[in-house]
Amino acid sequence: MPVPDYATYCKMLDNAYANKFAFPAINVTGEVTANAALKAFAECKSDGMIQVSTGGGQFASGLGIKDMVLGAISIAEHIHRAAEKYNVYVALHTDHCQPDKVDSFLIPLIQESEKRVAAGQLPLFSSHMMDGSGSPLKENMDVAVPLLERMSKIGQILEVEAGVVGGEEDGAAGSEDTPEDKLYTTPEDMVEVYRRLGEVKDAKYMFAATFGNVHGAYKPGAVKLKPEILKQGQDALKKTYGDDAKFWLVFHGGSGSEKAKIEETLGYGVIKMNVDTDTQYAFTRGVVDHLMKNYDSVLKIDGEVGNKKLYDPRAWMKAGEQSMCDRIKEACQDLHSVGKSLLA
């Protein structure tokens, strides 16, 4: 059962929190990129997370359809089957669904999971993210709480975000000119998130508090991360609700982040780090390397016929898959998840 059930997923997250490591959460856009993540996690003996955004789902459904729900379902069903061949747990997640897409993206996927659970199967996705960070906190939580109530009934975990992640990633909230004060979640907001989501008895959730995160890749020094904000929030939580109070925290915008800053966040409760831009680049770099090294063979130049074995899409997609796999393995190393699978 390498796609974990609810109890096992909770054990994964508790294990990461207790032992100060995190799971790479890899955005994928189809079978090839999903396979890269599965291969990397297995080779690292690391449990992990694979996630699909609205744009990733739309792309996966094909240019002739462009249906984000259909594409997300297709990717998830492939992973459910392929993950059975590996000896690590892989949770399935959706990334950055904003409030205006809840009815058109999240609800149909939750309905699909409700059907599966009623038939004695696992939910299609292990967890979903509702990104209300662009709204006032009350409006954000007013959308999140009913979703958490519904999802908890079928063994799903909700991820929420408060504070804005800068930059842009597949339609995610924020922009490169986001005011600096909006990039940092306050301890007061963290306590309020805990209070509101605590209204749903026994439900589980992850929280993406922002500490200067920016989507995309930037030159060193361009992004001002302040991981101490996460510690301040966790401390405020314990002061208000007692020593057992804690957040499973999520680090958005992990691509290009300084390794020392990543390391620091692990001590403050980060159990998931999103990696997308770096894996996009790694996949494309593998493809470009193949095409540039075999330029005369992948094109029919000066009346020649080229080399079918080298321009066969499987040849360059394999190169991209392996390059992406290698980058994900690096993320496992950075987050200290290597060798820590519950199945290892």
Q: Give me the active site residues, please.
A: 95
Cα torsion angle, 183, 184, 186, 187, sign: positive
**Residues sharing a CB contact under 8 Å with residue 49, sequence separation 6 or more, in sequence order:** 23, 24, 25, 26, 90, 91, 92, 93, 126, 272
Q: What is the Cα–Cα distance from 26 to 316, expressed in whole angstroms? A: 21
Q: What is the Cα–Cα distance from 171 to 156, expressed in whole angstroms? A: 24
Alpha carbon 330 to its chain's center = 16
Q: What is the Cα–Cα distance from 40 to 63, expressed in whole angstroms? A: 28
Spatial contact of 92 and 50, defined as CB atoms under 8 Å apart:
yes
**Residues sharing a CB contact under 8 Å with residue 247, sequence separation 6 or more, in sequence order:** 190, 194, 206, 207, 209, 233, 234, 237, 269
**Both tokens of residue 185?**
């979640």
